[in-house]
């Protein structure tokens, strides 16, 4: 008899896990209380990249006049003034719908049973869910908890929760504000600062750490800060939002240095939070907190016995591709085809301009671990393709072990960095040395040639 596998959540962890388990012969039921595709497809990765793409097109219009006859600036300005936020939102929604619809088709083809309701543990082998036909019980042999995360809105902003936007509902903002205050200079905060400033919004970013993107290499964060400031973004790093008050439609934020910041809208992009209240994992002896479900094995994704977890709920890496890999690993392990997950080789990317990406160890992390490393760096200033794109402010930095020459990590700021980083992920996965990477021939002219340039140093 086929194994009965239940999957909680149809985000980038849950839906690939369900598909993998079904392909491996399991009888799969997916519980989704909201929309197929989870945060990633509906209010995360894809909507934000759709908005960023629109923003890039406005940047291109801003730039076009220098290739035109005199006087074209006025026409470009006029076009920029006609920006339609509803049309940008409509395109974003159309992209999302196409992708979420695709998941439904894949589920149907794989004969996956979808229960459009919130599931809750009754006991270790039974879930309950309130469906259109009433509350039903579902038994299972194995379960994958892929319940994701929700936007984290701490004090003082929680007291005006319905008057501010968070990193999930910002996509529904009905009109672009004149002034937007973004609280949090992490990846999501920076991407929104970049795109909103391109869409003519006056943006301020408040970040309590001394720099933007505190989790990334400092050189990347410095470069991005310069670029954002050039676009007119007001960066308030090393400051904390101490209080917030409303004054009519205006929001006034008191900062830790005693100054005030006034805005028409606020986006709180401080992070994500695990919330398993409605799943009742305590009914099967599982514990969780804001950071995630407790006791998940970081290699096998097993929590205990027949219970597995994947995605944001594990707290290992709040990224969609990490979620997908974790979901697939969980499904394979349940279905008797052992696989392991390696959090050290999860690439990360920031889709600003320039794009930033990294994988493996950064120079700082390697130094913190006391490793004897070699750092090879090349600047895009010497890269033909980057120059032709007026995008020569980036760099590639390659970290390797001094004794063995083994590649340890890479960070880069360059056009299409989010694509180029996969080259390094493959090299790291394969255990390449820098010499082996040096033997790779890159087409000319490409941004990737900067890799060969760095390794030649
Ligand atoms: C603005 C923004 C931009 C982002 N951009 C990127 C990016 O560019 N690249 C990237 O890699 N990551 C990005 N992320 C992060 C990415 O979206 C998440 O890491 C990813 O969605 C996590 O997938 P998941 O399946 O674990 O959880 P989710 O996508 O949160 O899905 C979990 C699903 O479980 C459902 N669920 C929860 N509890 C229950 C229950 N009891 N019963 C039934 N269903 C339940 C939820 O409704 C949800 O649909 C972004 C996030 C945000 C907010």
The pLDDT tens digits for 163-175 are 999 999 999 999 9
pLDDT at 311: 98
Predicted TM-score of the model (pTM): 0.97
Please check the confidence at residue 1 and state whether its pLDDT lies above 90. Answer: no
Q: How far apart are CA 282 and CA 123, in angstroms?
A: 9
Cα(10) to centroid(ligand 1), Å: 9
Q: For ligand 1, what atom is nearest to the CA of residue 115?
A: 43
Q: Determine the topology of domain 354-455 in CATH.
A: Enolase-like; domain 1 (3.30.390)
pLDDT at 253: 98
pLDDT at 140: 98
Is domain 157-270 given the CATH code 3.40.50.300 in the classification?
no
pLDDT at 382: 95
Q: What is the mean pLDDT of residues 13-41?
A: 98
pLDDT at 385: 97
pLDDT at 35: 97
Please check the confidence at residue 427 and state whether its pLDDT lies above 90. Answer: yes
Please check the confidence at residue 307 and state whether its pLDDT lies above 90. Answer: yes
Q: Is 444 a catalytic residue?
A: yes
**Which protein residues touch ligand 1 with a CB less than 6 Å away?**
8-14, 31-34, 38-40, 44-45, 48, 118-119, 146-149, 167-168, 188, 278-279, 311-313, 318-321, 323
**Residue 457 pLDDT class (50, 70, 90 cuts):** confident
**Pocket perturbation via mutation, ligand 1, pick of 11, 280, 322 by most ligand atoms within 8 A of CB:** 11
Q: How far is CA 98 from CA 41, 101, 168, in A?
A: 10, 5, 19
CATH no. of 4-42+92-149+274-342: 3.50.50.60
> Could you report the per-residue pLDDT of 140-185, keeping only the tens digit for each?
999 999 999 999 999 999 999 999 999 999 999 999 999 999 999 9
> Could you report the per-residue pLDDT of 211-255, keeping only the tens digit for each?
999 999 999 999 999 999 999 999 999 999 999 999 999 999 999
Q: For ligand 1, what atom is nearest to the CA of residue 272?
A: 53
Tokens encoding 160: 């005006």
Rama region for 412: left / alpha / beta (φ>0; ψ in -120 to 50; rest):
beta
Of 56, 125, 321, 444, the active-site residue reads 444
Write down the mean pLDDT value for the chain.
96
How large a percentage of the chain has pLDDT more than 90? 98
Cα(79) to centroid(ligand 1), Å: 36
Q: For ligand 1, what atom is nearest to the CA of residue 118?
A: 42
Cα(443) to centroid(ligand 1), Å: 37
Tokens encoding 91: 């395109």
Task: Indicate if 354-455 has the same CATH topology as 157-270.
Answer: no
pLDDT at 360: 97
> Under a CB-based contact definition with an 8 Å cutoff, are residues 210 and 224 in contact?
no
Cα(75) to centroid(ligand 1), Å: 41
- Where are the chain's structural domains? 4-42+92-149+274-342, 157-270, 354-455
pLDDT at 88: 98
> Could you report the per-residue pLDDT of 348-378, keeping only the tens digit for each?
999 999 999 999 999 889 989 999 999 999 9
Cα(12) to centroid(ligand 1), Å: 7
- Nearest C-alpha neighbor of 371 from the set 362, 381, 380, 359: 362
**Pocket perturbation via mutation, ligand 1, pick of 32, 148, 329, 347 by most ligand atoms within 8 A of CB:** 148
Please check the confidence at residue 339 and state whether its pLDDT lies above 90. Answer: yes
Q: How far apart are CA 177 and CA 174, in angstroms?
A: 9
> Which residue's CA is the nearest one to ligand 1's atom 45?
9
> Could you report the per-residue pLDDT of 79-135, keeping only the tens digit for each?
999 999 999 999 999 999 999 999 999 999 999 999 999 999 999 999 999 998 899
> Which residue's CA is the nearest one to ligand 1's atom 15?
319
pLDDT at 21: 98
Cα(11) to centroid(ligand 1), Å: 5
> Which residue's CA is the nearest one to ligand 1's atom 1?
44
> Which residue's CA is the nearest one to ligand 1's atom 40?
118
């Amino acid at each position: 008899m086929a194994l009965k596998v239940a999957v909680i959540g149809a985000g980038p962890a849950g839906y690939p896990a369900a598909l993998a388990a079904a392909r491996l012969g399991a009888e799969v039921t997916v519980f989704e209380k909201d929309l197929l595709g989870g945060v990633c497809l509906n209010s995360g990765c894809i909507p934000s990249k759709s908005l960023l793409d629109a923003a890039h097109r406005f940047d291109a219009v801003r730039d076009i006049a220098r290739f035109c006859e005199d006087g074209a600036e006025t026409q470009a300005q006029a076009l920029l003034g006609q920006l339609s936020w509803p049309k940008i939102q409509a395109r974003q929604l159309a992209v999302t719908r196409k992708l979420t619809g695709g998941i439904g088709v894949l589920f149907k083809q794989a004969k996956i049973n979808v229960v459009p309701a919130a599931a809750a543990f009754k006991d270790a082998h039974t879930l309950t869910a309130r469906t259109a036909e009433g509350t039903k019980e579902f038994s299972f042999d194995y379960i994958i908890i892929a319940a994701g995360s929700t936007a984290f809105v701490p004090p003082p902003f929680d007291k005006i929760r319905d008057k501010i936007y968070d990193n999930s509902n910002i996509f529904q903002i009905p009109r672009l504000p004149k002034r937007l205050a973004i609280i949090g200079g992490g990846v999501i905060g920076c991407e929104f600062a970049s795109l909103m400033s391109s869409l003519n919004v006056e943006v301020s970013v408040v970040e309590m750490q001394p720099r933007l993107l505190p989790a990334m290499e400092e050189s990347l964060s410095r470069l991005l800060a310069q670029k954002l400031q050039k676009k007119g973004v007001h960066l308030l790093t090393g400051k904390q939002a101490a209080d917030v008050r409303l004054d009519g439609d205006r929001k006034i934020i008191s900062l830790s240095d005693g100054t005030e910041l006034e805005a028409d809208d606020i986006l709180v992009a401080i992070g994500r939070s695990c919330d398993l209240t409605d799943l009742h994992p305590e009914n099967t002896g599982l514990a969780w907190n804001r950071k995630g479900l407790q006791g998940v094995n970081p290699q096998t994704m097993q929590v205990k016995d027949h219970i597995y977890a994947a995605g944001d709920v594990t707290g290992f890496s709040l990224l969609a591709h990490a979620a997908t890999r974790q979901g697939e690993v969980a499904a394979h392990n349940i279905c008797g085809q052992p696989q392991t997950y390696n959090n050290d080789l999860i690439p990360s990317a920031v889709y600003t301009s320039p794009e930033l990406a990294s994988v493996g160890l950064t120079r700082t992390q390697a130094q913190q671990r006391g490793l004897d490393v070699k750092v090879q760096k090349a600047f895009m200033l010497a890269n033909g393709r980057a120059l032709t794109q007026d995008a020569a402010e980036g760099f590639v930095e390659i970290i390797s072990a001094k004794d063995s020459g083994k590649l340890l990590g890479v960070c880069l700021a360059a056009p299409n960095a989010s694509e180029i980083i996969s080259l390094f992920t493959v090299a790291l996965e394969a255990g390449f040395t820098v010499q082996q990477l040096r033997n790779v021939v890159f087409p000319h002219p490409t941004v990737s040639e900067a890799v060969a340039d760095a390794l030649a140093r």
